[in-house]
Each structure stands twice: as structure tokens, then as C-alpha cells.
Structure 1
Amino acid sequence: MLARLGAVLGAVTVIAAPGAAHAAAQPVPEVMAALGDSISTGFNACGWYVSCTARSWSTGDSGQVSSHYARLTELSGTLQKHNLNFAVPGATSADLLGQMRKAVAGRADYVTILIGALDACTRTEEAMTPVATYRRRLDAALAELRGGVPGARVFFASIPDVRRLWQVGKGNALARTFWSAGRICQSLLAEPTSTRNADVQRRARVRARVVAYNRAAAAACAAYGPRCRTDQGAVFSYPFTLDHVSKWDYFHPNTAGQRVLAERTYDNGFTWLDPR
């Protein structure tokens, strides 16, 4: 029942940018950049508590993931080796503007953004970023891109459903140990076996905040215009399992998880021209 509810909510989480359904195909970018947090750096996807950008769903070059970069270089060689990754483990929406400035300096004409998991995954529920603040930070970053690289394309990946992580991992003793020892996402993962109403409601509120962030990102994308796309909730609604997360922390996507992220986002993003 909860999985079905998650799928329904995921479907309405993100509003498509204007004209997305019938937009013309886009020329392949010459420079792309990934912005966001540890998910986009491939953290824990190939080593013990290290980033593995080669396995990033966005800019990675590993054949095990089939990232946006890997797929786009198959269409055009002009993108080859022009895959910038400015995502930083631990980043929140407060760091997005600084990352965007680096993308502008790099003249990126295609930017992927996945940010917000750590705005919700905080030490306490009260520490979560307000939705209005999150939206304001996204608007500021997009304004920076518009002013610096007019015509740049933007893709927003939806934030994963963090409550699903609790659902699939709460029965696993190792997962619970890592969540507790690492103080991981305590706003949601604290007291993982508790069925008390207070804990049930806390988890629901954290999930609702993620839903609100995804809606705010969609609205910011729509305001940016037809050169912006979202995945329309494809990542949020994906029914991932523990097979998709690192066994070193039971939180970050492993190689299989990064591969799913790449597939779900690419298939729900821009249509690209094939010059061949």
C-alpha cells in the first residue's frame, strides 16, 4: 500500500516545464556540468567513503552506469572530455549558487541538478531547510546561469523518496547500525524500528518536505522556460531496494543505483538531436 501511494505521489510531485511534451529536439551540448551533492559525485559507488565521479549518473564515463555524458558522447564527439562535475558531498541548496558560478565559468551549456536530499536529511526535523528558502536558492542559481550562459539547458532530477529507504532498510540490522553510527539522515532514520505515532508522523513530515522541494524545483524550472526539464518525479517514484544502495553506508546509490538514476533521468529529460 505504501509503495503504491509513493508511486502516486511521485507522479504528481513534479510539474513539467512548459511545452515539455512537444518540445523540439535539442542539439547535443558541447560542455556539461553536474551540480548537487554526494549522489552526483558517485559517493560510495566504487570505494570506501570516497567519491567516484566515473560512476556519476550525470557526468560519469564508466560503462557500468551509462550516464548522460556517456549517452550524449555517443551522439556527438564534441562533448568528449567536457564533463565537469562541481557536485560536493554534503552540499545543500545553500551551496548551489557557488556551484553554478563554476558551471558558468566553465561555459557549460547543459547543467544537471540534483540537490535537496541533505536539506531534508538533517540531524533533527527542525533543522530542515524551509521550502521558500530552497526555492529562492534555486531561482538565484538559475538566474546566474541565464545571465552567464544564455541558452544553457537545465535538467532537474527529483530528490529520491528518502522514506522508502527507511521502508526497505528498517528490517536490516546492518542498515540500522550504519544509520545510527553515522548519524545518517536522523530527521527521518532515527528510531527506525519505532512504531510510535510521533515517529510515524515525523517520517511522514520529512517525506512531505521532500515532495515540497521537488514541487519547488519544478516550479523554478518552469519559470526558467523551455530550456529546462525535470524528470517529472521519475527518481522520486522509483521503487528502489537495498540492492541499489551502498553496503558501506546503506544510504548512497551504488553502481546499480547510479545506473538506474541515469536511465530514469535520461529517459525523462531532453530529446537530443542525433547528428549522425
Structure 2
Amino acid sequence: MPVSRRSSATPIAAALLLTAALAAGCTSPSPSSPTPSPSSSAPAPESENAPGAGEWNVRPASVAAIGDSITTAFDACSLLSDCPEVSWATGTDARVASLARQLLGDSGAVGERSWNYAESGAHVSDLPAQARRAAAHEPELLTVMIGGNDACAPDVASMTDVEDFRADFTETMDILREESPDTQVYVSSVPDLMRLWSEGSGSALARAVWQLAGICPAMLGDPGDASPAADERRTAVRERVQDYNAVLAEVCSADRLCRYDGGAVFDYAFTADHISDWDWFHPSREGQSELAALAFEQVTAE
């Protein structure tokens, strides 16, 4: 689907409102949308056919999520707000068919046996604290999506160092294993930010929103600049994302109950339909639904 589908359908006023209220896309939390609180503190029922030690259970009976604004579904429903009901990981909206809804059943079951501790603006350094909160529920499955904000720095030099990224993600896994040793972990790859630029850079409105709101400047700054220097900058960001994904894959592979998505999210050929009309950065409802489908495929693979 060509990006030109959006013209007057998205109000120019959104770009101005984003400029005033949003410092950097998903790089800062929305003050009007606090982190979703757990739906219930009740322990999850034991799964039927529960696996033995080191054996992957394709039908976990409870799901927790940690990560950033993609998992809070920021800007998926309305401007400058989280929309956890359409989150790919734990959303209750039947039209999105989140991973939790596909695994657990109806919205009532999702409300009782899923918890979303992702935070808009989170970096990998925020993940250990989120993991502690999630581990308190001893979920049968924990989803992780992190790294977008670590790459979406003010400039290339400010992106999170790869070894720091490794240390924080390793600490996250160590905390989880200490506090909830039998929890399975599904780790999503970081999306391809270069594809985001290529999908939106042909739209004058997208370029205006990115520039005025300062969204992901390392990749999306000066979006119309086709100079060699700009190409080098964007390539450096993409390579850093690939480095983060390599770390996620390596650390996950060392854990008996961790599944990395094999680059499924990074490789996914999303289009403008999968991007929020509000900021041209976060996933739309359609994008959230696609993330849920990718996750379900990975989690339930025998």
C-alpha cells in the first residue's frame, strides 16, 4: 500500500499538537497515560499438560509483558496516549487478537491472567525493574520488546552502547530466572527503523510530523535529506538495531526457556497501514495485530 493513502485524512493539527506535547516520539513517557497496573494479583491456574524442566509449553496460561511504547500501544487509538487494550502482547480488543487473547481466551481471562508493565519511553536500562514487577506474578510467559528508544537517540553518538545493552538485557534475564525460574520468555526483535523512514519519507505530512515533533532524530531527522552523510547516519542506526538484535538472540539462546523471534519483527515488511496516523512512528491497530500474529506463531511453534 503506497504511503500516499494519508493526505488530508490526518489533520495537520496533529503535527502541531505533537510538536507542543511530544519531545521525541516514544522516547519520553506520556504524562496522561500511566503504566498499566496489573489486572489481578491472583495466581494463574496451572496449565494442562505442563511441560517438564527445559521443555517449551506452547499454551501458557498466563502472560506478562515488559518493554516500551510499542507494547503499551502508544498512539494506536488516540493522540499522545497509551491504548493497552490493543497491545499486541496483552490487549483485550478482539479485533487486534493479542497474543494473550489468543492464548488465554476471552477478555475476561486476559484481564485476570495477564499483566503489562511496559512503559512508554523505556530503554533497555529500564527493563530490569520491569522484570522484577512482572516476575512477582510468576507468569508462565513473559514477552519482551525493547531497543527502539535505545536507537532513537538525538544523534548516532548518543545511541545506547551495544555492550551496555547486553549488560542490561542479561541482568533482566538473571532477575527473571532468580525470581520466577520457570517463566518462559518470548523476545521480539527490534523493528527495522530504516523501513519506517522509507515508508514515510515520501509523505510530506509524515516528514512534517517527524521533524516538528523531533521523533527518532537519529533515523528520522531531516527526513528529506538524501545526501551521503544522511544515508550514512541512517545506515549507522540500522546497523545498531541489528547489533541489538544479535545481543537479544545471543542472550536468549543461552536460556533454556527463552525464544527469540529469529528476526521476524525486524524482517516484517510493514506498510503505512501498520503505522499510527497520529505520529507516523508507532504501530497502528493493524500494526499491533500483525505483531500479535507474529508472536503467536513463534510462541506456539512445536
Same fold (TM > 0.5): yes
Q: Give me the whole-angstrom Cα distance separating, in 2, the residues matched to 1:150 and 1:268.
A: 21
Q: RMSD of aligned C-alpha atoms? A: 1.7
For the residue of structure 2 that corresponds to 1:40, the secondary structure is coil
Consecutive unaligned residues in structure 1, runs of 5 or more: 1-22
1:48 aligns with 2:48: no
Q: Provide the aligned length of Structure 1 versus Structure 2.
A: 248
2:63 to 32, 42, 64: 32
Q: Deviations over 1:215-234 (max 9, x none)?
A: 10010101122x11011111
Q: Is 2:274–2:287's contact at 8 Å kept on the other side of the alignment?
A: yes
Q: Deviations over 1:139-186 (max 9, x none)?
A: 101000001111110000111100101101111011001101111000
Q: Is 2:77–2:83's contact at 8 Å kept on the other side of the alignment?
A: yes
Shift of the 25–125 alpha-carbon distance from structure 1 to 2, 3 Å rule, reads closer
Q: Give me the whole-angstrom Cα distance separating, in 2, the residues matched to 1:270 and 1:136.
A: 29
1:268 aligns with 2:298: yes
Q: Show the counterpart of 1:11.
A: none
1:130 aligns with 2:130: no
Q: Deviations over 1:51-83 (max 9, x none)?
A: 0111000011111111110011139x9766211
Q: Show the counterpart of 1:236.
A: 266
1:109 to 116, 140, 143: 140
Q: Which letter maps to 2:150?
A: D
Q: Give me the whole-angstrom Cα distance separating, in 2, the residues matched to 1:172 and 1:33.
A: 37
2:177 to 133, 146, 170: 146
Q: Show the counterpart of 2:91.
A: 60
Note the 1:150-165 alignment, pairs <5 A.
150-165=181-196
For the residue of structure 2 that corresponds to 1:38, the secondary structure is coil
For the residue of structure 2 that corresponds to 1:236, the secondary structure is helix
1:190 CA drift (Å)? 1.0
Note the 1:105-254 alignment, pairs <5 A.
105-225=136-256, 227-254=257-284
Instruction: Give the percent of matched residue pairs that are identical in Structure 1 and Structure 2.
Output: 38
Q: Is 2:101–2:110's contact at 8 Å kept on the other side of the alignment?
A: no
Q: Deviations over 1:107-147 (max 9, x none)?
A: 22210000000000111111100111101101101000001
1:270 CA drift (Å)? 3.9
Q: Is 2:92–2:111's contact at 8 Å kept on the other side of the alignment?
A: no
Q: Is 1:26–1:271's contact at 8 Å kept on the other side of the alignment?
A: no
Q: Is 1:30–1:78's contact at 8 Å kept on the other side of the alignment?
A: no
Consecutive unaligned residues in structure 2, runs of 5 or more: 1-53
Q: Give me the whole-angstrom Cα distance separating, in 1, the residues matched to 2:173 and 2:290.
A: 26
Q: Is 2:275–2:281's contact at 8 Å kept on the other side of the alignment?
A: yes
Q: Higher relative contact order at CA 8 Å, sep ≥6: structure 1 or structure 2?
A: 1
TM-score relative to the length of structure 2: 0.79
Q: Is 1:161–1:207's contact at 8 Å kept on the other side of the alignment?
A: yes
Q: Is 1:73–1:80's contact at 8 Å kept on the other side of the alignment?
A: no
